[in-house]
Structure 1
Amino acid sequence: MFSVPGYLLERIYVKGSLKNTEEGFQFQMRNVVDSGTLSRVLALEVDGEEIPLEDVTVVTGEKVLSATEVTPSAPLHFPVGSTLTVVVKGRKLDPGEHKINLRVNTWEVGAITIPIKAEIG
């Protein structure tokens, strides 16, 4: 397996998409690297705090899945050019900059961490 350069992973986050919702917060990612298959969501960390995966939902196209439902036997295809939304319930973000790390496992390259630095106004 090969690794994905960090500068490409940073480009996956859709700038300006981090926002609070009624139930928590959400952000979007657009696949700008290559078609991939997510076989597991490993972790979501926000400002150094790990978010329980039971509170995380992944929305892509017509699919709405709990992060825990993405498994090797039920993977999530993430074609190049497509967008997915990560929705977190139970926690709103304060105004200012936030550091988010989304760690996923892919069939193509194994485990990757998508680093996000984003601001909520």
Structure 2
Amino acid sequence: MPVPPALLRRFYVEGSLRNRRDGFELRLSNRLAPGTLLGIGPLTVDGRLYTGDDLLLQTRKSLRPAANVSPEHPFDWPLKMELTLVGIGPHLTAGPHRINIGLLLRETGQVTLTIEDTLATPDPTLPASRS
């Protein structure tokens, strides 16, 4: 049985989309139930694809390629744990963005979160957007 999109959107931390030196980041928080990630990605923002070395998973303890999460190397995602996904590449422009995040969960199978969020005014300490 498919997971309702409204329930999936609860993973996303609204307002977390922001630029950083090497691209941008957004946060996910497990607000539903303890789970196990078997895969992360792809991530698309406004149609631009982030996979492989362009998509990182950051926790309080580590930063690693999201591609390292797999059925052979699962990632336990306890309730209330927050994750940061980092897209390596050009900075995002201020304003609204359409985001799709693919997650493979042991408990539900493959799901895709579809979110729209607005990037706040870009941080003036960051270099200009790269094309």
Root mean square deviation, CA, Å: 1.3
Residues 46 and 101 in structure 1, CA contact (< 8 A), matched pair in contact too: yes
Percentage of pairs with the same residue: 34
* Count of residues paired in the alignment: 120
1:65 Cα deviation from its structure 2 partner: 1.8
Question: d(CA) in 2 for partners of 1:48 and 1:33?
Answer: 28
Establish whether residue 63 from structure 1 lines up as the match of residue 62 from structure 2. yes
Distance across 2 between alignment mates of 1:49 and 1:22 = 18
Are the counterparts in 2 of residues 28 and 83 from structure 1 also a CA contact under 8 Å? Answer: yes
What are the within-5 Å matches in structure 2 for residues 40-119 of structure 1?
A: 40-119=39-118
Report the counterpart of residue 17 of structure 1 in structure 2. 16
- TM-score in terms of structure 2 length: 0.85
Runs of 4+ aligned residues of structure 1 deviating over 3 Å after TM superposition are none
Distance (Å, rounded) in 1 between the aligned partners of 2:41 and 2:89? 19
Structure 1, residues 26-78: CA drift from partner, whole Å, max 9, x if none? 01111111111111123111112212331111112313220111111111111
* Aligned twin of 2:26: 27
TM-score by length of 1: 0.92
State the alpha-carbon separation in 1 of the partners of residues 60 and 94 from structure 2. 29
For structure 2, which runs of at least 5 residues remain unmatched after alignment? 121-131
Aligned 8 A contact 2:41 2:51 in 1: no
